[in-house]
Amino acid sequence: IVELAIKYDKLIDVHCDETDDPHSRFVELLNALVLMEDYGTRTTASHTCSFGSANNSYAYRMIDLFKKSKMNFIACPTENAYLQGRQDTYPKRRGLTRVKEFMEEGINIAFAQDSINDPWYPMGNGNLMNILDNGIHLAQIMSPEVIEKDLDLITYNGARCLNIQDRYGLEVGKDANFTVLDGNSPFDVIRNRARVLASIRKGEYLFKQKPIEYEVELDLGVNY
């Protein structure tokens, strides 16, 4: 795969180590290959569930190598939690790779959903706010200093996986591709799983909707 990607100048996305086996080493092999070819920024390892089961000494040795290769990672929180750990009784593994450690070490990690209403995952509708909500619970990344960065997991970090970070974002001169969420802050939109009020592609509306308005008829007998 690496040889073909280099030959045809293509990005790499490998669904890698999607297993509970803590001794699975395919992500180590992939990282070694792209490190030798200096192709890490154009490579993404998806799932890597087994890395969440690996012991700490091995994991942190590999994290140093991931930092050298600059390889990207993607976790699919709902699918990984649903499919992994099925043979466990208790303790029962969460199924996710080491999202928190990747974030702390500056390794690019994004959230995604790769199954919708299919044999691998019977739920799902492609709503990334739901994916983010599940992911930050499973990875335990909701501290005040981290919550402001969590939206990057479904925005900027994914753009880096696709190598479109030079034209993705809100800065002047970048492509006018974005969504508008119903909230006043990252904390608000994450906590409320905010609805998408508008989706813009190349400066044109794909759709837009008004914020929900409520009429409250309940009389609490209290004057405000």
- Residues annotated as catalytic are 18
- The burial of 41, by beta-carbon neighbours within 10 Å (0-12 exposed, 13-18 middle, 19 or more buried), is given as middle
185: Cβ contacts below 8 Å, ≥ 6 apart: none
Task: Compute CA distances 200 → 133, 158, 194, 196, 220, whole Å.
Answer: 23, 18, 17, 11, 41
Rounded distance, CA 215 to CA 175, Å? 39
- Please tell me the distance from the alpha carbon of residue 78 to that of residue 139, in angstroms, as a whole number: 12
SS3 string of 41-100?
A: HHEEEEECHHHHCCCHHHHHHHHHHHHHHCCEEEECHHHHHHHCCCCCCCCCCCCCCCHH
